[in-house]
Amino acid sequence: MRVGDVLPPLEIEITRTLIVAGAIASRDYQDVHHDAELARQKGSPDIFMNILTTNGLVGRYITDRFGPRSVLRRVAIRLGAPNYPGDTMVLTGTVEAVDGDTATVRVVGANGIGRHVTGTVTVTVPGAAGAVGADGARVAQGAEGAEGIEGAEDAAVHEAAGSRP
């Protein structure tokens, strides 16, 4: 993985079930996340997703890309346009920095009315020490022979499948 690399997008259908389940799972019982009529009385056209569900989806996006051994070190997000039922949110990411086995990724989640979430995620992939550093120089190869974060991701996929590269 190198600075400037673009992660593949992830499309997430925004359903009532996703919104309500996310609110319940995060113990957010605010009526605007599960009761459409009360949400309308408060000025919203419908129920909408809470920030904790969004945070979880952003984390999923990063760990799906970097593999099962990846560790989220920092997630810093800000909400914008609400996620309403019936819409689709598309998460995209761009690698902003790489230092050894740690990368910082700029994440944007957009829906039909605008940007729902923006922010950065710092992720570490153990054994990915062959990554390109912030100065653009390649650093030492990881202990398992995986070259950089991209190589560690490939190794993690093989490990999950029960094979070795």
Do 93 and 62 touch, CB atoms closer than 8 A?
Answer: yes
Distances (CA, A) of 91 to 54, 61, 145, 152, 157: 10, 7, 31, 22, 21
The pLDDT score that the predictor gives to residue 139 is: 33
pLDDT per residue as tens, the chain (165 positions):
789 999 999 999 999 999 999 999 999 999 999 999 999 999 999 999 999 999 999 999 999 999 999 999 999 999 999 999 999 999 999 999 999 999 999 999 999 999 999 999 999 998 875 544 333 433 333 333 333 444 433 333 333 333 333
Instruction: Determine contact, residues 28/52, Cβ cutoff 8 Å.
Output: yes
pLDDT of residue 129: 56
